[in-house]
Amino acid sequence: MTTTIFSQNMTPTIEGTTSQSDWDSHSYVALETAIASKQATVGVIGLGYVGLPLAVTAARAGYRTIGFDIDPGKIEKLKAGGSYIEAVKADELALQLGAGRFDATTEFSDLKRCDVVIICVPTPLTRHREPDLRFVEQTAETVRQWLRPGQLVVLESTTYPGTTEEIVKPILSASGLRPGVDFFLGFSPEREDPGNTAYSTATIPRVVAGDGPRAAKLVRDLYASIVANVVTVSSTQTAEAVKITENVFRAVNIALVNELKVIYDAMGIDVWEVIDAAATKPFGFMPFYPGPGLGGHCIPIDPFYLTWKSREYGLTTRFIELAGEINVAMPAYVIRRLEMELDRRFAKSLGSARILILGLAYKKNVSDIRESPSLVLMELLEDRGTRVDYCDPLVPAIPPTREHGKLAGRQSITLSPESLARYDGVLLAIDHDCLDYALIAEHARLIVDTRNAMARRGLTNDRVAKA
C-alpha cells in the first residue's frame, strides 16, 4: 500500500516511488476525486453578503463547509442558528448546522482541514479612488500559512484583471508549494444581488476560470456541483474582466438615465414616463432607472478598479470616469431640488428645515447600507444646517461605517400621522415595499421622490415632487 508523507509547506514524497510526476498526478487526482464524491471540505473566508450565502449553498449541495470570519459576533450568531443576511434563512442555516454540514469559526488554523478555500472578502477603494486590496492580500497571507498540497484556492472578490495572477498567486507560491502541481488556483466572480427573490446563489450562472487546465477543471467541477449553470472562460484575467464589465455596464447606463433626468426635468418632462414608454420597444432598448446616487458593494466601486489598472497600459477610461462623475453628483442634485421645493412652497431654507429621509439601505427591500446614497444625503443636509431623521424599518439603527462614522447609532423613527407632521419635507430615497405610502401621501407636507415610488402606486398629488 502506498503511503503519502508530507508536512505543512513541504513538497511531499511518496514512499515506494521515485517519480515526481507520480506525486503531481496524485495531488490533482485526489482533489478531483474528493470534489466529485463531495468528500471535499469547503472553507469560505468572509461571511458577508457573498460568503455566507455561498457557504450555506455549498453545505446544501452536500459538502462539509466551514465558514471563516474575523468577527466573533457573526460566528456566535451563526453557531446559534441566527442569520444576519436576508438571503440566508434561519431555518436553512439551522438545517445545515444540525446535519453537521456547516460550521463557523474565527480559528483560521482550521484552513488546513479544507480541501477547497474560497476567498470572499471586500475590495473597497481608497480615498483617492484607487484599489484597496489589503483584505485580499491579508487573507492570501493567512491562507499561505496553512496551505498544504492538494488544496484548491478560489478568489471571488471583485477586482481588476490580473489580481489572481499578480497578487494572490505569488503570495501563495511563497509557501514553497507549486501552483498547478501542489495546489491549484482559480477565480469565480460573485454575482449576488441582495433583495432579488427571483435568483439565488444556486440559480445564478457562475463564470469560472483556473490558473492552468488542471485548476480550470477543478474550479469548474466544484461550482458545477453547487450551482445550476457554469460558464468556463480561458483565464482568471478574463473572468475578472467579466465581472468588471458587468458592473461598468450598469454604472454607465445608470449615469446615462441620471443625466437624462436632469435634462428632462429642466424641460418639464418626466424621465420615468419616458423610460417606461421606451421600454415597450421589444428590441434595442433596456430600461435603467435614475436615483439619488449609486450604492452597494459593486457598482460605485468596481469600475474604478478598471480605471486604475488601465493606467498601467497608458490608457484612460473616459466613459467610466464620466459615468462616475455623473453618479457621484446625484446626491447634490437631489439636495438642490429639495431646496428649491422648500423655498417655492414654504419660503423655507435648508438651514431652518426639518427633513425625514425615507430609506437608508442602498436598494429596496434589503438592510444593506454599503455605499448608500442616503448616508451622503444625510450628511449633505446636516452640513447645510438641516435637522435630519430617517425611517427605514430594515435598518433600525445606523451601524459604524468607515466614511460616515458620525452617523453611527442614529435610530429609525416610526411613521405615523404625528411623526410626519413634524417635518417640513420627506425625501424618499429608497422605496422599500414595507413603507406605508398611503400614510406618507396623506400626511407629509412635501414629498421629494427620487424613485417615482408615489406615482407607481397612484399616489400623486400636488405635494409630490420628483427628483
Q: Which residues are catalytic?
A: 298
Residue written as cell 425625514?
356
The residues with which 425 forms a beta bridge, in sequence order, are: 355
Give dist(CA 55, CA 42) in Å, integer.
Answer: 8
- Residue 152: name the closest of 119, 122, 176, 120 by CA: 119
| DSSP-derived secondary structure letter, 110 | G
Q: Would you say the C-alpha torsion 460, 197, 50, 412 has a positive or negative sign? A: positive
Pair type for strands 64-68 and 151-155: unpaired
Q: How far is CA 436 from CA 128, 183, 391, 415, 459, in A?
A: 40, 54, 11, 8, 11
CB atoms within 10 A of CB 259: 18
The C-alpha cell at 262 is: 436632469
- CB-count exposure of residue 157 (10 Å: 0-12, 13-18, 19+): buried
CA 114 to chain centre: 25
Distance of CA 231 to the CA centre of its chain: 20
Q: Compute CA distances 398 → 235, 387, 389, 413, whole Å.
A: 41, 17, 11, 12
Cα separation, 67 vs 52, whole angstroms: 7
Q: Please report which helix (H) or strand (E) contains residue 389, including its range.
A: strand 387-391
Q: How far apart are CA 356 and CA 447, in angstroms?
A: 10
* Alpha-helical regions (H) of 312-392: 318-346, 373-383
Q: Name the β-bridge partners of 185.
A: 153
Q: Phi then psi for 250, rounded to 5 degrees?
A: -70, -45
CB 439 within 8 A of CB 421: no
The grid coordinates of residue 284 equal 434595442
How is residue 308 annotated by DSSP?
A: H
Give the angle subtended at the CA of 337 by the CAs of 336 and 342, to the nearest 5°: 95
